[in-house]
Amino acid sequence: MAETILVLGSNGQIGTELVTALRQKFGENQVIACDIKEPLETDGPFEQADVLDVSGLRKLFEKYQPTQVYLLAALLSAVGEQKPKKAWELNMDGLLNVLDLALEFKVKNVFWPSSIAVFGPNSPRENTPQYCVMDPNTVYGFSKLAGERWCEYYFQKYGLDVRSIRYPGLIGWKAAPGGGTTDYAVHIFHEALAKNSYECFLSENTALPMMFMNDAIRATLELMDAPAEKISIRSSYNLGGISFTPEMLAVEIRKHLPNFSISYKENDPRQAIADSWPKSIDDTYAQKDWGWKLKFDLKEMTAEMLNNLKK
């Protein structure tokens, strides 16, 4: 059966790359990019959509009768702390609106991203397991944790095939990240090439799990392709990626730009968020259930970022 796919929140860091990958796989006209703002450029169908506007969303579902929906619209961790109520509303009501419409229109699969932000200060920091204490202390984090519970609930109660990944910090060169704690790991490459220096808002030894965007997009498509009986987790899958500190990244960048220098800003509010998150993640379930395997390590990711941004 031909797929018709709605990507809600298509202009963001993940959406920009996911739409391209889905169009390559399913055909340009089968993937409808949807965002609250018009994109600067588009090479396929686009619809303006606000995930908080149920009647507007319903019209989209009526018009396209999607078989798959990817809901990416969200406020991330750092911006969420500046607009806590707005983050809760967008992240929670947006999800519930889409889950309800997916049921009503008998959508086959829904993808919704969660995050390592679902963990908190009392979660194990190293090799954080799939199941453990979870006490996130950011609005973004607890909206994602609540969202995971809703996804599992809609699967168990109504049989809706929702799938999800707890993304680590995502690093790509095609689109800018939008207000997260892990954004430094993208900004650093732009500034290294433009100025040969970078002032990092996290301290030099702050280790966080990160992932190159090619791996994240591949993981998303692999999870969505997996047979339903292989999906044992209906909340959201841990995905480990690469764990590194700003200092480790700077050392790797210096292999390409020997004079690159890094300094560290003090008292940035994002430090406290990073300090409450895991340093590394155990993704055994993703490996076991749908064969997940990481391709890009720190060295390869750094080389790809610099080579592509240089162009």
Residues forming contacts to ligand AKB in the complex (CB under 6 A) are 76-77, 115-117, 140, 167, 169, 180-182
Residues counted in the chain = 311
Question: CA-CA distance, 286 to 233, in Å (whole number)?
Answer: 9
Indicate the residue among 77 and 302 with the shorter CB distance to ligand AKB.
77
Taking the complex as a whole, the smallest distance from the CB of residue 233 to ligand AKB amounts, in Å, to 18
Indicate the residue among 116 and 306 with the shorter CB distance to ligand AKB.
116
Is 290 within 8 Å of 231 (Cβ atoms)?
Answer: yes
Indicate the residue among 107 and 188 with the shorter CB distance to ligand AKB.
188
Taking the complex as a whole, the smallest distance from the CB of residue 29 to ligand AKB amounts, in Å, to 31
Residue 297 CB: number of other CB atoms within 10 A? 13
Q: Which of 140, 154, 184, 285 is catalytic?
A: 140
Taking the complex as a whole, the smallest distance from the CB of residue 43 to ligand AKB amounts, in Å, to 26
Indicate the residue among 32 and 211 with the shorter CB distance to ligand AKB.
211
Indicate the residue among 8 and 76 with the shorter CB distance to ligand AKB.
76
Q: Between the CA of residue 253 and those of 30, 240, 303, what are the distances in Å?
A: 39, 22, 8
Query: What tokens were used for 193?
Result: 């090439």
Q: Which residues pair with 198 in a beta bridge?
A: 262
- Annotation marks residue 140 as catalytic: yes
Query: Within its chain, how far is the Cα of 179 from the centroid?
Result: 12
Taking the complex as a whole, the smallest distance from the CB of residue 91 to ligand AKB amounts, in Å, to 11
Which of 181, 179, 137, 185 has its CA nearest to residue 269? 181
Active site residues: 140
